[in-house]
């Protein structure tokens, strides 16, 4: 092979290498998983997912309160059942909490009938803590902005599907026995979620500080696992939102 051909081959190889490098180094567009509706598929939770969807189908109509969220909301039927009963004596209520849910799972339930036929005066929403968990390798699946957009999408969907419903958006509860990075993330997200409050249709309420002791710890007497409230924790929740509910519902 002559020198001219060798030079041509070398030039072509360099072009291919340059094109490959440019392709590999091009920024990959970020896809936010927190706003893409997906169902729960694990066997341990699909029954609960199906139950709350069926709950909406079996009992459509008018409600004072609908609760939307994850295990902390589902827990009104567990550790908070006595407080839930007292709440039910004052208001007509329905619980759409599913343990382990992230924002994308709530959006999926909306798409599959969770709010169909339900006319609530107020939607009590707290979601996002499960999106803030780390992966096994210590990395984050969701950025803070991902979580913010996921919660915002839920609020917007409620407003779209239930235009007469007021949204009481709760700050995501603190978690962890002491100061930690995850709790800090949630505080930063809450600061921006507060901006959704328009004093007309969306109202933001944050009482997470009531779960934190003077040294920054979370008491086992309120949250035994530093995440899920016990009965005392649900009493705090009930008392904190009671004035706003009286304002919005008029009871």
228 flagged as catalytic: yes
List own/partner pairs for 223-229 with CB under 8 A and 24 or more apart.
226/175, 226/176, 226/177, 227/72, 227/129, 227/173, 227/175, 227/176, 228/71, 228/72, 228/75, 228/79, 229/72, 229/75, 229/79, 229/80, 229/173
Kindly give the residue spans of alpha helices, DSSP state H, lying in the chain.
3-25, 43-58, 71-74, 81-90, 103-111, 144-161, 181-193, 231-249
Options 64, 71, 99, 101, the catalytic residue: 71
Quote the distance between the C-alpha of residue 140 and its chain's center.
16
Q: Which of 185, 193, 102 is nearest to 156 (CA)?
A: 193
71 flagged as catalytic: yes
43 flagged as catalytic: no
User: How far is residue 124's CA from residue 55's CA, in Å, rounded to a whole number?
Assistant: 17
The catalytic residues are: 71, 225, 228
């Amino acid at each position: 092979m002559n020198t001219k051909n060798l030079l041509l081959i070398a030039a072509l190889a360099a072009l291919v290498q340059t094109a490959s490098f440019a392709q590999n180094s091009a920024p990959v567009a970020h896809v936010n998983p927190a706003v893409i509706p997906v169902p729960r598929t694990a066997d341990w939770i699909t029954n609960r997912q199906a139950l709350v969807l069926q709950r909406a189908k079996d009992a459509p109509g008018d409600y004072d309160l609908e609760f939307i969220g994850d295990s902390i909301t589902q827990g009104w039927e567990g550790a908070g059942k006595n407080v839930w009963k007292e709440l039910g004596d004052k208001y007509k209520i329905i619980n759409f909490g599913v343990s382990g849910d992230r924002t994308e799972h709530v959006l999926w339930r909306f798409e599959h009938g969770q709010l169909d036929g339900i006319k609530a005066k107020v939607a009590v929403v707290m979601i996002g803590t499960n999106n803030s968990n780390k992966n096994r390798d210590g990395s984050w699946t969701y950025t803070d902005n991902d979580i913010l957009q996921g919660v915002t999408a839920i609020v917007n969907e409620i407003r779209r599907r239930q235009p007469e419903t007021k949204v009481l958006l709760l700050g995501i509860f603190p978690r962890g026995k002491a100061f930690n990075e995850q709790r800090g993330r949630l505080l930063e997200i809450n600061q921006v979620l507060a901006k959704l409050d328009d004093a007309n249709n969306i109202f933001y309420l944050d009482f997470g500080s009531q779960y934190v002791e003077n040294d920054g710890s979370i008491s086992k007497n309120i949250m035994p696992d530093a995440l899920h409230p016990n009965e005392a924790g649900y009493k705090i929740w009930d008392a904190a939102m009671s004035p706003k509910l009286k304002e919005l519902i008029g009871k």
